[in-house]
Structure 1
């Protein structure tokens, strides 16, 4: 009501002119204008003083530059005058052929007349020093002369340059420690356009500075002559003074300028530095006067701005006080309703009207029954209203149904509290109403979802249990877990321990060592090997269980462990049956191989047996006839014994090959295994008229394998190669099976590779894809278990087998089977490991 009255008062009165009407952003501009004025004033002061300082430094720099250029011109003119006099002397020496005495007279006159000249030397074309005249203060010994000639070095280079150019040449030698810097001038002597030597002039750099630079410049500045590298040759230099050195953005240092001497070039630089450094703007009285005025102006503007701020704050407080109550009413999402002591509605907020669909005018003044009461709930709601007016309403609120104006109904929760005025007197009852239709719907859905979830877990054929770490509390267990282990965590913990997952027990004192993963210590979470699954046998149940475990955050924030156990007894029994069948198939394969080789074996045994019979018959006949000596008898008996040993070896090899026994891994030598295979396979290959060659690389390491199984793989591959040659009907010269054993590295691991190469018809594309499938065979009478067993045997030794066709001019000329075995013990295998189980 206060806000409405204030708005009415503000709107009253005659209309104002457009220039007096408030515009948008007026308050913000009024706040920022004084600050902007202060900032602009300070910026203007700073820029003005900066500009004055720059102008002062520019004038000082121009004065230094002007004096240095003037000194450089004076020094240049002095050098030109000396150069002209020396060139005239050189021309006189070339035209008149002066004698040494005459040269000494004229040179002495020049040296005594011009103090910057240190010495004049006459050097002929052969670099011999003919005459020299030095200043009295200079030692007559020259460092560049040895045995009356110019020695190799800088002086010699300048002499050569003057000879080549036929023009005067300036040169500055390298400075020598504790020696006065000098400047050389080479004036060539050219009689009749021929080079006849040079006039070598030595200038004192100190003399050039003293007599070439005007005295007023020397008095105003620290003048110095430097070489091309900035080294001081003569004069004075002012060291860097921190805090007093200033620079201009475009000209460099203030009160300093340097320029090269034009005749000499960049090898001699003239520099001048002013002795006086500018005092700067800060030391001036004008600066402090302006600074005080600026500070006073700033203080006045800030005071004015603070006064304006206080006035604006008071205005905003008044506006906030009048609009706060209505802002609350319009922004609340909870419906508010006020009743007087008689039960009539005296106030509703917009949210209450929006929720019910009734307007404020329709609700104000109503008494029971209210229009938003459903007809069927009026008796119950009337009783609740009586309790509310009597002060018996539940402080936790109550749930009711509310009817909208359009007839629809929604669920609401009502909280009732006394309405107290400013003096502490109760004037009625205040109620807040919240729409809980959606929370009720979500609650019903969650309840139904929980029931479905529980039904699914209870019907699972796997045991599911969840328990927190460091506690024996069982958070969840489905029906099958309860049937197997009961309602305790004993079964859960036993499964965790047997599956290899670490069990963590925490005491009350150890809780300080735990991080945010509640229940799991830092060292355990970093090192615990969480197995994805494990197979364990439970004697109590007489079952094999597959156990899976994982960590999860429970609903209360604790770190828990879920264990899922599945009954795999039937699968385990099936695996054992399959392993036994594979072992029987392996033995059957060896028996089938020997059955196919039976005729060849019989022929191989017939030869030593026939030889034994013949030797025995011959010895009996000769003994009866008395025509045999003791040596002949011993020789015949030795041959008979060798044939018997050969027959016994054949029988022993066949017996060991087909004998059914438990696989044993042992350290076996590769050459011995290959010799056994070759001796056994040659029996069948000779019958097929196939030549067998083999090569074993020297120095092969021993293999930790079952030698009988590796021999079976080689025999099967050799036998298949011989059969492929028979089918291809190769010529006698091209019926060959080659066995090679070498050592190589695969993935940085040393292995021993066995290769069996035949000259048969090769394999088709379909056969290469299905080569190792069980019961797939390329032979009409084949069983399709040979190569499958070969691959299983090789992989049980952690090896690999592969096949490829051999080509010649696009034609298949054979096939190569290769397999490799790691050159070391098989990891995780013991000598009693069963490869047939591994292949299953």
Structure 2
């Protein structure tokens, strides 16, 4: 089944950039750019053709030069053969030299005079071409000027040399240039620029570029080639100009049509934009969060209220599938199970409550109402959720509940204070009687001639403990009656030793080893001895209770020490530890980690209040080696007397 795709959230229409309003010119600009590319391409081809044609001119001129050089090389070879035969042929004298067949052949080909010189440059013989055998120009070559001559020479065996004179025009006339005359007008120029020979004709004038080249066959001779035809320039081609004009016309027509279409689209977009603005205004003004999801639970749409509710932007939420970022990490499994039930259609129509997390970490309570999401064809394509933030209502409910609990705690504390005061009053007289009987018993036994030491010690212990119990009862009465504290300088180390000695037998019976590390002399601290004694006793009792379930070795380590500003006592057990709980949680009234009925949950709170009334601190931590560690810190300097908290003050 296709996934629903709700319209995108409305965005304010920004002013259209000037360059966007000119986009209708794009087809014309594209056609113009294409024409420019065509022109550049054709121009490149034309340039390549012209360069190729120029290279052909250079190659043809070099071919003319090579042909002339080859002809001269052949004449030199023939002249060397004749020179080699002269001594043996006995051709001394003009007649004998003239009669030699190779001489006559050379005069018929090119030479117009032949001279044989001996070693002293004296003429041995001459031969000359007769006018009837004068060389004529071949092909279409027209001789314009005569008289330019060159010489060929060859050494004669035994000394001397053979000289052959020829005219440049005869060399040109005897060279085969028919293949060249079909493509070029060929002209030979002297060093002064005078035309010696040419194939120029009024019937066939040349056109285009010309190429001039100096000939190595004669330093005073240059050849000029003018082609009769060459590649035409591209801008002279009517086909090319028609193609470019057609492209420009098509581009212009496309631009005009695009401009018309853009105006129609702009009007339609303005209408759609107004409709989207109305729809978005209504969605954003809703006081409930809106969320659309597909059948797989993927978010398709959220409104602004929901984004503000969870602290995430719409772009960050749309497209996400469960688990979602605002789900509490410790409730992901339960959330996934509820999500599957909702996607299966099991969400109650009356809605359900759940707990989410804002992006900044604070929790929010929401009420979610789910309903099917249908497409225009009526097909079920997802779920539409309405989310109401009920955090304020939940906070008010929790505050009211906490207020009721607080009133109940105050009532219990009030009753407990009254009970403590009454118990202290009722116990005072029996304890006084026990103290009197104990003292009298001890005095009577001491008056005996040989008193039993065991009975004497027991009587003294009864008297001492009864007196201690009386001190504690009196201390409780002072706390209940808000009497003035009785502080005096005390040795905290000695007090620790006394409390440990008092609890040592009880700890031994429970299999707990007590390890004391108390310096012999600690600085005196102004304190209420009974109060601090009760604090230390309670800390040892709590440590002992924490080790009750331990099967291995049980250890309580008591350490004391002092710094420049304070004296401290530390009680460390190897039990299960605090479990991540803070001192505020442990000292809360009527809250205990012990079994039901084993404790009222007041001891640690009272201890904390007594220590703070002395200007000190009570700290709790989980040491790296395990167990729990509670530290009592009291200032060394004498502080102004502070009212010792009563039973009502020590418990909030």
Q: TM-score, normalised by structure 2?
A: 0.32
- Rg comparison, structure with higher value: 2
Choose between structure 1 and 2 for higher RCO, CA contacts under 8 A separated by at least 6 residues. Answer: 2
